[in-house]
Amino acid sequence: MLSIFVETSCNRYNRDECEFCHVYEPLMEHPVSEWHLTVQQAQVMADKIQNVEALNSLAQQEINLTGGEASQNPDIVEISKVFQSVTPHVCLHTNLDILSKKSQRWQRLVELMERDVRIDITLYPTAWERSQKYFLEEMLKLQSKLIVNVVFESLADLQNQIGLLLNFFQNKSFIHVTELLQSYAEKVAILIEKHPNCDEKLFTVIMGDTEAFANKPEYIFGISLLPAFSIDKNGYREMTSLPFPRDRYLIGCPAARGSIDIMTVQQNGEMTPCCDVGNLKCQPKFGNILQDSPKEIMGKMEGSMKILASGISKNHENIKSGRAGEQVEEGIPPYCS
Ligand code: SF4
C-alpha cells in the first residue's frame, strides 16, 4: 500500500488530544500556504509512481489518502481522480468528525464514495455520539465496505470501542460483522477478567487468530487494532505503547530485508518504507517523490535498503547483549528490528 498525506490541517486542532497526536509534530512544520496538497502535486506524484516499479506495484494494491484530515482538502475529489488514473484501488481515511450533512467535508466524502473511493475511519469515542455514529449510518447507504482503525490506550478503552461498534452493527442485517465484533469483545473480556495487566505477547496470543475482516458480498468490514503511543514534546514516539508499558515495542522493518511492503509519502514528498509519519526520525532516505527523478528515487531506495539492513543487524546485536535502545550510526530507531 502507498499511504499519501494530502492534507496538513485537521478539524480537531486546538483540542486537548492534538499534542499527543502522532502526526502533530511532523505536520506542524508545514506553512499554512502548503496545507493542502494540490492537484498539480498529485499529478507529479502519479507520474512518478507509474515510472518507479516498486511504487507502482504498491499502488496496485492500494493508494490510501490521509493526513491531517484528508477531507479538509478542497481539491480532494480531483486529487482522487488523479490517483484513480494510476490504480482502481483508492481509499481515504477520515476522522468522520463532521458537524452536519451540509458540511463541505461531508459533500466531498459523498462524492468520493459515489466515485468508488472507499472511505475508512478511525474511531474516536469522544466524537462517536455527536458525529461519527450518525455519519457511519449514512455511509452504510453509500458504500458496502469499510475499515475501522481502533487506536486503544488500555484494554478497558479497547473494550469500550469494540462495544460502540458492536452496538452500532447489532441493529443492522450484517450478522457476519456482529459475529466478528462479538468474537473480539469476548476475547477482550477474558483478558480484562483474567489478565488485566497482560503483556503484548499474551494479548497477541489470545487475540492472534481473530480475523481482521468479515467478508460477505453485501458488506466487507475490516478492523485494525492499533496500540496508542505517547509522543514527547520534541515529537519523538515512546518506545513502549500505552496499553503495554512493560514491553519495548519492536517494529519489523521489511525494507531491511529487501522487501518494500508499504511506503508512506509525506506531503513534502519524502518517502519512508513503513508506516512511520516522521516521528521515528529514521535517517536513511528513500527519495522525494515530488523533487527526485525516477532514477534518483530508485538509486536512493537501493542505497538506503543496504543501510537499513546494516543498522537493523546492529540493533539485533544491541538487543541480544542488553544494550537495547542505543542509537546506531545508520540513524535508524533503536526499536526497529
Ligand atoms: S528502520 Fe526506518 S524504515 Fe525501517 S521500520 Fe524503522 S523507521 Fe521504518
| C-alpha cell belonging to residue 114 | 459515489
In a domain, 334, yes or no: no
In a domain, 292, yes or no: yes
Query: 143 C-alpha vs ligand 1 centroid, how far in Å?
Result: 34
Backbone angles phi, psi at 151, to 5 degrees: -95, 115
More confident position, 77 or 26: 77
| C-alpha cell belonging to residue 142 | 453509500
d(CA 148, CA 36): 24
In a domain, 302, yes or no: no
In 3-state terms the chain splits into helix, strand, coil percentages (rounded to 5) of 45, 20, 40
Q: At 128, which CATH number?
A: 3.20.20
| C-alpha cell belonging to residue 40 | 498539480
Residues 6+ apart with CB under 8 A from 95: 10, 11, 12, 69, 121, 122, 124, 127, 132
Query: 282 C-alpha vs ligand 1 centroid, how far in Å?
Result: 6
d(CA 20, CA 8): 16
Query: 220 C-alpha vs ligand 1 centroid, how far in Å?
Result: 31
Mean pLDDT of the chain: 91
More confident position, 22 or 105: 105
Residue linked to cell 542509537: 327
Give me the mean pLDDT over the 206-218 stretch: 91
Interface confidence, given as ipTM, is 0.96
Q: Is 317 helix (H, G, I), strand (E, B) or coil?
A: helix
What is the number of domains present in the chain? 1
In a domain, 321, yes or no: no
In a domain, 313, yes or no: no
d(CA 243, CA 228): 7
Confidence band, pLDDT 50/70/90 cuts, at residue 22 = low
In a domain, 301, yes or no: no
In a domain, 126, yes or no: yes
231-260 burial, b for 16+ CB within 10 Å, e for fewer?
Answer: beeebebebbbbbbeeebeeeebebbeeeb
Q: Whose CA is nearest to atom 4 of ligand 1?
A: 253
Confidence band, pLDDT 50/70/90 cuts, at residue 87 = very high
Ligand 1 pocket test: pick from 250, 257, 259, 282 the residue with the most ligand atoms within 8 Å of its Cβ: 282
For residue 142, what are the domain limits? 2-296
In a domain, 326, yes or no: no
For residue 272, which atom of ligand 1 is closest to its CA? 3
d(CA 318, CA 328): 9
Give me the mean pLDDT over the 251-269 stretch: 92
Query: 138 C-alpha vs ligand 1 centroid, how far in Å?
Result: 38
| DSSP notation for 172-234 | SS-HHHHHHHHHHHHHHHHHHHH-TT--HHHHHHHHTT--SEEEETTEEEEEEEEE-EEE-TT
Give pLDDT tens digits for 120-147: 999 999 899 999 999 999 999 999 999 9
Q: Whose CA is nearest to atom 6 of ligand 1?
A: 336
Give pLDDT tens digits for 161-201: 999 999 999 989 899 999 999 999 999 999 999 999 999 89
* Ligand 1 in reach of 271 Cβ (< 6 A): no
Computed from CA positions of residues 165, 169, 174, 176, in that sequence, does the dihedral angle turn out positive or negative? Answer: positive
Whether residue 41 contacts residue 26, with contact meaning beta carbons closer than 8 Å, is answered with no
* Ligand 1 in reach of 280 Cβ (< 6 A): yes
More confident position, 27 or 161: 161
* Ligand 1 in reach of 276 Cβ (< 6 A): yes
d(CA 334, CA 19): 23
For residue 256, which atom of ligand 1 is closest to its CA? 4
pLDDT score of 18: 60
Backbone angles phi, psi at 293, to 5 degrees: -75, 160
Q: How does DSSP classify residue 166? A: H
